[in-house]
């Protein structure tokens, strides 16, 4: 395992533990075109961008119960300004369901898709079903908040297990991260 730098990601408020950020940073290193659904203030995005050469597309409506959407997006942009200016990170500001239609119409594919948007069952089903077809052959579909001890995340667990593609199994590499791993 090569060295990774999480110093700037760790300064951004968020819900990912350092071990999860570390996994995300290491995993991003081997991917070139990453899609992240749900980025909030950019903690996980920063970990991936600082430790890879990947182009990263963010899908987030930037709606928060505590911050207004403009303020939340501005915070995200401030946290990742150099990557936005160099165009390594691009933002699609809309719901994941709306964005999926656009990305499918444009025939865009990603070699890593990280789902960390809405955690309710119906949203998770929609995200997995909408984005699995946008994954390159051999790409990685993974996400956050696989949290058996928290009933509010039960929808994540249920959807992840119900929609496992044939030939894959659910794997929990660290903390609350889930991935579909080829058998």
**139 pLDDT above the threshold of 80:** yes
DSSP assignment letter at 9 = H
% of the chain surpassing 90 pLDDT: 85
Considering the entire predicted model, what is its pTM?
0.94
Whole-number Å distance between alpha carbons of 148 and 167: 24
Instruction: Classify residue 76 by burial, with Cβ atoms within 10 Å: 0-12, 13-18, 19+.
Output: buried
**106 pLDDT above the threshold of 90:** yes
R_g of the chain, CA atoms, integer Å: 15
Convert the pLDDT of each residue in 46-68 to its tens digit: 999 999 999 999 999 998 766 66
How confident is the model at residue 65, as a pLDDT? 65
Note the helical H segments in the chain.
Answer: 7-10, 18-28, 43-50, 69-79, 81-85, 96-105, 121-131, 154-162
How confident is the model at residue 44, as a pLDDT? 98
**Of the candidates 122, 116, 89, which has an alpha carbon nearest to the alpha carbon of residue 175?**
116
DSSP lists the bridge partners of residue 37 as 59, 115
How confident is the model at residue 153, as a pLDDT? 79
CATH number of 7-182, picked from 3.40.50.150, 3.40.50.850, 3.40.50.300, 1.10.1200.10: 3.40.50.150
Residue partners of 104: CB distance under 8 A and separation at least 6: 130, 133, 134
For the chain, the structural domain boundaries read 7-182
Convert the pLDDT of each residue in 15-47 to its tens digit: 999 999 999 999 999 999 999 999 999 999 999
**103 pLDDT above the threshold of 80:** yes
């Amino acid at each position: 395992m090569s060295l990774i730098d999480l110093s700037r990601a760790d300064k951004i408020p968020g819900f990912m533990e350092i071990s999860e950020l570390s996994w995300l940073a290491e995993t991003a290193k081997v991917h070139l075109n990453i899609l992240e659904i749900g980025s909030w203030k950019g903690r996980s995005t920063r970990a991936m961008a600082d430790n890879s050469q990947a182009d990263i597309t963010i899908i987030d409506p930037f709606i928060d119960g505590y911050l207004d959407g403009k303020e939340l997006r501005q915070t995200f942009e401030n946290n990742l300004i150099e990557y936005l200016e160099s165009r390594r990170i691009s933002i699609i500001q809309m719901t994941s369901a709306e964005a999926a239609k656009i990305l499918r119409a444009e025939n865009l594919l990603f070699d890593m898709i990280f789902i960390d948007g809405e955690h309710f069952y119906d949203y998770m089903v929609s995200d997995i079903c909408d984005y699995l077809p946008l994954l390159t052959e051999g790409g990685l579909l993974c996400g956050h908040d696989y949290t058996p001890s928290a009933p509010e995340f039960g929808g994540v667990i249920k959807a992840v297990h119900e929609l496992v593609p044939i030939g894959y199994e659910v794997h929990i590499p660290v903390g609350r991260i889930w991935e579909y791993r080829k058998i």
